[in-house]
Structure 1
């Protein structure tokens, strides 16, 4: 099956207004001492975000920190990416609640807590000790997690099988001009061999077994984080570390993701 070559977004992001930045600074002072304010990407077409959204996002990050998310870069990324701009405007007021939201075609944007959790697991891998390198995301969806990963990893390849969502993600991400994010339309179960090996692979959909292609494309020292069907038919979060001796699997908490499917749609 042919895959569209990766391409797209470009540089930087518009800064928030001085007033919004001041509010961000005051709120960040209530978070762990090693965190600092970071620039916030704002869509040029929609203008500067409201202070209400800023405060709601900061409260979300505070909840993440209180729940055990410790990785500084992950917390900064969760504060930087404007989740309300990745969902329908009617759902924007729910954007910073810890809930998944529909994005169309029977798919959802993952809860902030699970996005932060999975990104942190990648950032804690052996391959990421000097910084997380190239990452493959299975299931672009609306592009939110790819945007978060762009601030955690050096390079992000993200693949989506549904053309309508692939295009939605392109629209959502284009104004952010993320030069290190590459969008691919293709079958995620095949991974993306052209970008391999990957320091991290993360999946936003779960199947009964891990596709062999994902394991083959994982670098030594790299880590794969994905939901998988566990005992009793419930999904669990699986971490797979590739070592010189093979693959080490660790089963974590129960999760709930959309099912992993093959082919284009």
Structure 2
């Protein structure tokens, strides 16, 4: 299946932003999966990358990024780097990306993968994503690739006034990718983006505390 097919899948879902489509066309997903899974890289499906984590399903990544309405001037905080595929896409659409990954080995893979495709405006940091990166805040946009019952307070605090945050909110049947904006210092829910199934967000500020992942993702 040629890489252009992923672009067509995204377009057929109603996402027509030429910058978004160009970013997907220019980002070789096969560089962002384990070698054993390269044959599946151009399929619109999640792929395991270790530690019970997946690299994300491209069409869902596209919906999350599209909701941010990026113009190219933003500084973005990403929670959940994985192998760096979404990071690379964000870097093509924004001024600067700071991406946080809990597992050091995944972060190393992501750094190598980003360097291999000449992404120079993204930095991968190992740490607790629920705490964000206060030293680099505020952020114009935040994207979280794991589910929790609510947005961790530090991430809301580090979002600039008028900024957008996309995150799956835990549900009983499915998680709901939800778009928020920050108005007068508070997060306001704007719309539901898509239902899906995500690994749980882990960290000090995730509701429920530091719990190990207990379910697979459809991201």
- Interval of TM-score (by shorter of Structure 1 and Structure 2): 0.7 to 0.9
Q: Residue 95 of structure 1 aligns with which residue?
A: 41
Deviations 1:230-257 (A, max 9, x none): 3x35211111101237321133321111
Aligned to 1:177, which of 96, 118, 123?
118
Corresponding position: 1:168 with 2:109: yes
TM-score by length of 1: 0.73
Aligned equivalents of 1:163, 1:61: Cα separation in 2: 31
Match for residue 11 of structure 2? Answer: 65
Q: Which has the larger radius of gyration?
A: 1
For residues 220 and 186 of structure 1, what CA distance do their matches in structure 2 show?
Answer: 25
Q: In the alignment, what sits opposite 2:217?
A: none
Structure 2 match to 1:146: 87
Structure 1 residue runs of 4 or more that deviate by more than 3 Å after TM superposition:
none
Paired residues in the alignment total: 205
CA offsets, 1:216-242, max 9 Å, x none? 000111100001113x35211111101
Equivalent in the alignment of 1:8: none
The 1:134–1:245 alpha-carbon spacing in structure 2 relative to 1, beyond 3 Å, is: closer
Residue in structure 2 matched with residue 221 of structure 1 by the alignment:
162
Structure 2 residue 2 is matched with structure 1 residue 56 = yes
Contact persistence 2:63–2:193 (CA under 8 A): no
Q: 1:206 aligns to what SS in structure 2?
A: coil
Deviations 1:79-138, CA, capped at 9 Å, x for gaps: 111001111222112111110000111100110001111111112xxxx4x544100000
Measured after TM superposition, the shift of residue 72 of structure 1 is 1.2
Which position in structure 1 is the counterpart of 2:21?
75
Cα deviation, residue 62, structure 1 = 1.2
Larger mean Cα displacement after TM superposition, 55-64 or 180-189 = 55-64
The alignment's C-alpha RMSD in Å is: 1.8
TM-score, length-normalised on structure 2? 0.88
Aligned to 2:50: 104
Counterparts of 2:165 and 2:63, CA distance in 1? 13
Q: Which moved more, 1:168-177 or 1:102-111?
A: 168-177
Gaps of 5+ in 2: 205-209, 213-219
Task: Say if 2:64 and 2:193, in contact at 8 Å, map to a contact too.
Answer: no
Name stretches of at least 5 consecutive residues in structure 1 with no aligned partner.
1-54
Deviations along 1:148-198, one digit per CA (max 9) or x if unpaired, are 101011110001111111111122122233221011111000011111111
